[in-house]
Structure 1
Amino acid sequence: MTKNEEILEVFNKRYACKKFSTEKRVSDEDLKTILESARLSPSSFGMEPWKFLLLRNEEMRNDFRQFAWGALNSLNGATEIVIILARKDVTGDSEYFRDNWKNLKKVSDEAFEAVKDKFTKFQKEHLKLLENERTLFDWASKQTYIALGNMMTVAAYLGIDSCAIEGFNKEQLEKYLSDMGLLDLNVYGVSVMVSFGYRNEEQPKKIRRELKDVLEIIE
């Protein structure tokens, strides 16, 4: 099998798993690889505007049934559930932006001012991101979906099933996490969740539109 065929086989075997086995568990080594693929994912301006909460507390997992209807199948068997948070505060003037470039990337003062000006112009003039908190959160959420896709693909490559979860009451979930001391509502919001485990069902037939129907070549 060629590398091209191997890659496409992985994508054909990946689907949104609805029934997970309670007998087979994801190993710590495989989970670390999946989480590392999220950490190493690309993001706009390399800002990494995310945080990942690995939900293992059984009492909390049970509480999630109240406001995360889309996670019920996963809660009934998936080994792991990851809550992906997106930052609300990433602007050129934010302390997070300065920390990312000055302390983490260790750029010079001149380089920092240049990237700050470029980033601010990008946010303010090109994408109109500085209009309100919601636009900033939506931008950050788009970045988290890159990490989400990478995690699910890596999981599929390792023979692990997954399910992206958007079916939850955002306000109730955020309040719950905030009350538990796990979420600073001034900094983060819940973007999406994803579960990992092993299927306990037959994979449904994968149906997609033909490439010719979704691809237009501009020459």
Structure 2
Amino acid sequence: MSITKEEVLNAFRFRHACKEFDSARKIPDYEFAFILETGRLSPSSYGFEPWQLVVLQDPVIREKLRANTWGAQKTLPTASHFVLLLARTQEALTPESDHIQHIIRDVQQLPPENAAGKTSVYRKFLETDFGLLGSERAVWDWAGKQAYIALGNMMTAAAMIGIDSCPIEGFEHVPVERVLQEEGIADGERLRLVSMVAFGYRVREPRSKTRRPIEEIVTWL
């Protein structure tokens, strides 16, 4: 690897929740393709990729979301690229669902006996290991936690090439979901919004980053 540890740490120091972007500057297509690829390559439980990414460039839909997205009042109109992170629901993540079986058979290309075994292990995980089945909110939250792995990886990758970002949870879920359904972006049944993230170039430098010292957050046993 040609990247040094200090370069990686500098990317984390550079990254901040950028609340307003330079609307005149657009991220080149090849740079944003790189950011999306880091999301695509992100890990997920069982490799089931329970997320969907929607790159929202339509200014009309952005403005519709803005009415109920208090955490993106300046980022929605100024971001070069705006991404919606959708997570699959319980209906879409049961062991026999189309999505799970598509991943097992078509993406992971497991032979029939291995596919059956993985389906069985996954069912046990949902039913007893984590006790998720039977709670739609629990399954959706589990999928959303994994979507955040892709979110973090994309923001770090962006920072490493000098691109700013801002993760956004500041929105009213019901009216925002209504807009997404009206626009055909999410059906509200198999895919639901868990977070948003804006990308672009800062218009001003942020204040110094503050974090707890490592001794306060890490315990060695």
**2-structure distance, mates of 1:2, 1:141:** 30
Coordinate RMSD, CA, aligned: 1.3
The equivalent residue for 1:103 is 106
> Helix, strand or coil: the match of 1:16?
coil
The equivalent residue for 1:193 is 196
> Helix, strand or coil: the match of 1:76?
helix
Shift of 1:180: 1.3
1:65-84 matches, cutoff 5 A: 65-84=66-85
1:37 lines up with 2:25 in the alignment: no
Unaligned runs of 5+ in 1: none
> Helix, strand or coil: the match of 2:78?
coil
**1-structure distance, mates of 2:119, 2:162:** 42
Which among 126, 135, 139 is matched to residue 136 of structure 1? 139
> Helix, strand or coil: the match of 2:7?
helix
CA offset digits 1:153-178 (Å, max 9, x no partner): 00000100000000011111111111
1:63 lines up with 2:64 in the alignment: yes
**1-structure distance, mates of 2:74, 2:58:** 17
The change in CA–CA distance for 1:2 and 1:183 in structure 2 (over 3 A counts) is: closer
**2-structure distance, mates of 1:108, 1:6:** 42
> Helix, strand or coil: the match of 2:150?
helix
CA offset digits 1:3-47 (Å, max 9, x no partner): 111111111111001121122211111110001111111000000
The change in CA–CA distance for 1:200 and 1:100 in structure 2 (over 3 A counts) is: same
**1-structure distance, mates of 2:194, 2:3:** 36
Shift of 1:108: 1.3
1:112-127 matches, cutoff 5 A: 112-127=115-130
Q: TM-score, normalised by structure 2?
A: 0.95
Q: Percent identity?
A: 38
CA offset digits 1:34-76 (Å, max 9, x no partner): 0111111100000001111111111111111211111112123
**1-structure distance, mates of 2:3, 2:85:** 34
> Helix, strand or coil: the match of 2:73?
helix
**2-structure distance, mates of 1:2, 1:108:** 38
Amino acid of the structure 1 residue aligned with 2:110: V
1:148-159 matches, cutoff 5 A: 148-159=151-162
Tell me the matched-pair count.
Answer: 218
**2-structure distance, mates of 1:2, 1:76:** 34
**1-structure distance, mates of 2:217, 2:75:** 31
**2-structure distance, mates of 1:78, 1:165:** 12
Deviates more, 1:79-88 or 1:96-105: 96-105
Amino acid of the structure 2 residue aligned with 1:208: R
Q: TM-score, normalised by structure 1?
A: 0.96
